[in-house]
Structure 1
Amino acid sequence: MPRALITGITGQDGLYLSELLLSKGYEVWGLIRGQNNPKLDLVRRIVPDVRLVTGDLTDLSSLLRALAAARPDEVYNLGAISYVAYSWENATLTSEVTGKGVLNMLEAVRLHAGDNPGAVRFYQASSSEMFGKVQEVPQRESTLLWPRSPYGVAKVFGHYMTINYRESYGMHASSGILFNHESPRRGPEFVTRKVSQAVARIKLGLQDSLTLGNLDARRDWGFAGDYVEAMWRMLQQPEADDYVVATGATHSIRDLLDAAFGCVGVEDWSGYVTQDPRFMRPAEVDLLIGDPSKAREVLGWEPRVDFARLVAMMVENDLDEQAEQAGMRR
């Protein structure tokens, strides 16, 4: 039975990846920060077969203890402070966790593996936010990185550190440069879930309006459940490498609003949506669209859920969730 350790087990990717690996017969371990983690019950409810171990990406000794307990064949480093807007407010903490945390995990894996550096296969969750002020459209593995947020800068550090450990120590360390990926499990602070929740609440009469920032920013949005399969496929390759994981299609926030409000029969959403400069980024990333050719050709990976189906999935989930919370019947 193969064994895997996942950091960031409480996030949408960690939950979907856990389900995938369990379905493939893995023994799955999840790293939880703190004994009283507020998302602990969520993990136990969704993936009760996952074994949990405490640890913190900023504490190397705790990572070594977690590795000793889990004895993994594969490590998926998904843990991070992942909300971009928060990274401007807390740049130092974001750098410690999202950047230096990768170094700590790589070093822990290297020390744990000892004389056989390739014995534990390592996946690093890199991000399309590394491209920032894009220098090429679409963005590929070779595109120059120009991050435009503390989060993006921290991700670049972790990305290049992963490459460095692969080249310096012979570790099987791969990075997935994942473009925006969403799901009903996405946190409510992210724009897609903010929109799907608001649309559901407006439809149910629980909310009157929605306030957003830049409506013209464009993103390459896919389904998180599809993207975790690409992570797994990377660690099954004979050689480690870096891969862009994306749909190859781009949509604006306006397109997102069209699709979400369309799910509840609203064609003109202009009366429900306002813009507020407070929600504008200090340095905007205007256009992200990935070229997943390498992932398609080498990994045999294809996204299955398109943009319209993804948005409909999220709105439908939030209609059920919000109605239940309000004690309403749909």
Structure 2
Amino acid sequence: MNAALITGASGQDGSYLAEQLTAKGYRVVGGVRDVARARDALPSYLRDVVELIVWDMSDLSSLQRVIATTKPTEIYNFAAYASGAAMFDDPLGMADINGVAVTRILEAIRAVDTKIKLCQASSREIFGEALASPQTESTPPNPRSPYGAAKLYADSMIRIYRRRYGMYACSAILFNHESPRRGVDFVTRKISREAARIKLGLAQELHLGNLDTQRDWGFAGDYVHAMWLMMQQDKADDYVIATGEAHTVREFCEVAFAHLGLNYRDHVREDAASFRPSEPVPLVGCSAKARQDLGWEPKVSFRELAHMMVDADLRDLRASTN
């Protein structure tokens, strides 16, 4: 039986991957900071399936013990300080957990069993304000935040260990990926939740920043499937995972509100205090390499994603108010 260790297993990406791997017959171990809290955060049908253990990213000897005890064939690392509005919070902690800690994982694998495969969840934030669009695996990195810089360091160490020690280590350069499990501090979930609240008469307005900001948004479940495909190849490599489509925050609002029979113009207000100019070029990824090498392509469209998120928030809010 294949065994997977998923760090950050109770988060959006980790929970979708745990769902997919258990369906494939994997034994799934979830490495988390707080077992009790993580169990509550997991979908109910995963709580008795995923074995949760404490994962201390700051302690190399602890990581070695966990890996030696659980004996995974694959490790997926989602454990990281949050992106979004928190990208500049605690830059020292960000550097350690999002960057240096990946080196600890690599060292732990090297000490326990170099046959264990590792997939690192990287980010399009390594490109920062790119000078050309779309961004590919060969786009020069130019991080603009501590978050992006830490992810770039982790990617560099992945490549170094792959070349130096022949380890199966790869980075998935993930562009924005959303779902009903996305945190409410991210703009897409903020839109879907507030649209549902307005529909139910629980709110009247939604204040956002620049509505013309463009992003490449995909479904988290599609993106973690791409990471699994990366781990099934004969040779480890890094891949951009993206839809290749750029959409504005305004478009997301339009689709989300229209799904509920609402006109976003009646409810959405641009907040001058939160307004940031749009990037010089669209932040959109080219996943041609993943499509060719892995046979991967996104299944959920932009419109379907927005509808999925709105429907989930509407169900949750109705349940909580009844």
TM-score (normalizing by structure 2): 0.95
Of 161, 167, 174 in structure 2, the residue corresponding to residue 178 of structure 1 is 174
Deviation at 1:285, TM superposition (A): 8.1
2:226 — aligned with what?
Answer: 230
One-letter amino acid of the counterpart of residue 10, structure 1? S
One-letter amino acid of the counterpart of residue 43, structure 1? L
One-letter amino acid of the counterpart of residue 171, structure 1? M
2:153 — aligned with what?
Answer: 157
1:13 — aligned with what?
Answer: 13
Query: Which secondary structure does the structure 2 equivalent of 1:88 belong to?
Result: coil
Mapped partners of 2:54, 2:160: distance in 1: 27
1:67 — aligned with what?
Answer: 67
Of 242, 245, 250 in structure 2, the residue corresponding to residue 249 of structure 1 is 245
| Cα distance change of structure 1 residues 52 and 300 upon mapping to structure 2, 3 Å threshold | same
Query: Which secondary structure does the structure 1 equivalent of 2:265 belong to?
Result: coil
Q: Could you tell me whether the CA contact under 8 Å between 2:170 and 2:237 is conserved in 1?
A: yes
Q: Deviations over 1:106-127 (max 9, x none)?
A: 11111111xxx2x101100011
1:202 — aligned with what?
Answer: 198
1:295 — aligned with what?
Answer: 290
CA RMSD of aligned residues (A): 1.7
Question: Alignment length, in residue pairs?
Answer: 321
One-letter amino acid of the counterpart of residue 172, structure 2? G
Mapped partners of 2:53, 2:281: distance in 1: 39
Deviation at 1:43, TM superposition (A): 2.2
Q: Deviations over 1:113-150 (max 9, x none)?
A: 1xxx2x10110001111111112211100000111111
Q: Could you tell me whether the CA contact under 8 Å between 1:246 and 1:290 is conserved in 2?
A: yes
- 1:41 partnered with 2:53: no
1:78 — aligned with what?
Answer: 78
Deviation at 1:44, TM superposition (A): 6.6
Task: Calculate percent identity across the aligned residue pairs.
Answer: 48
- Structure 2 stretches lacking a partner, 5+ long: none
| Cα distance change of structure 1 residues 172 and 280 upon mapping to structure 2, 3 Å threshold | farther
Larger mean Cα displacement after TM superposition, 46-55 or 189-198: 46-55
Q: Could you tell me whether the CA contact under 8 Å between 1:148 and 1:284 is conserved in 2?
A: no
Q: Could you tell me whether the CA contact under 8 Å between 1:179 and 1:221 is conserved in 2?
A: yes
Deviation at 1:273, TM superposition (A): 1.8
Deviation at 1:270, TM superposition (A): 2.6
Q: Could you tell me whether the CA contact under 8 Å between 2:35 and 2:52 is conserved in 1?
A: no
Query: Which secondary structure does the structure 1 equivalent of 2:87 belong to?
Result: helix
Deviation at 1:153, TM superposition (A): 1.0
| Cα distance change of structure 1 residues 208 and 5 upon mapping to structure 2, 3 Å threshold | same
- 1:4 partnered with 2:7: no
- 1:320 partnered with 2:315: yes
Mapped partners of 2:147, 2:98: distance in 1: 7
Mapped partners of 1:26, 1:242: distance in 2: 23
Mapped partners of 2:125, 2:280: distance in 1: 8
Q: Could you tell me whether the CA contact under 8 Å between 1:217 and 1:286 is conserved in 2?
A: no
- 1:131 partnered with 2:127: yes
Deviation at 1:278, TM superposition (A): 4.4
Deviation at 1:34, TM superposition (A): 3.0
Mapped partners of 1:128, 1:61: distance in 2: 31
Larger mean Cα displacement after TM superposition, 93-102 or 177-186: 93-102
- Structure 1 stretches lacking a partner, 5+ long: none
1:266 — aligned with what?
Answer: 262
Mapped partners of 2:258, 2:220: distance in 1: 22
Mapped partners of 2:313, 2:242: distance in 1: 25
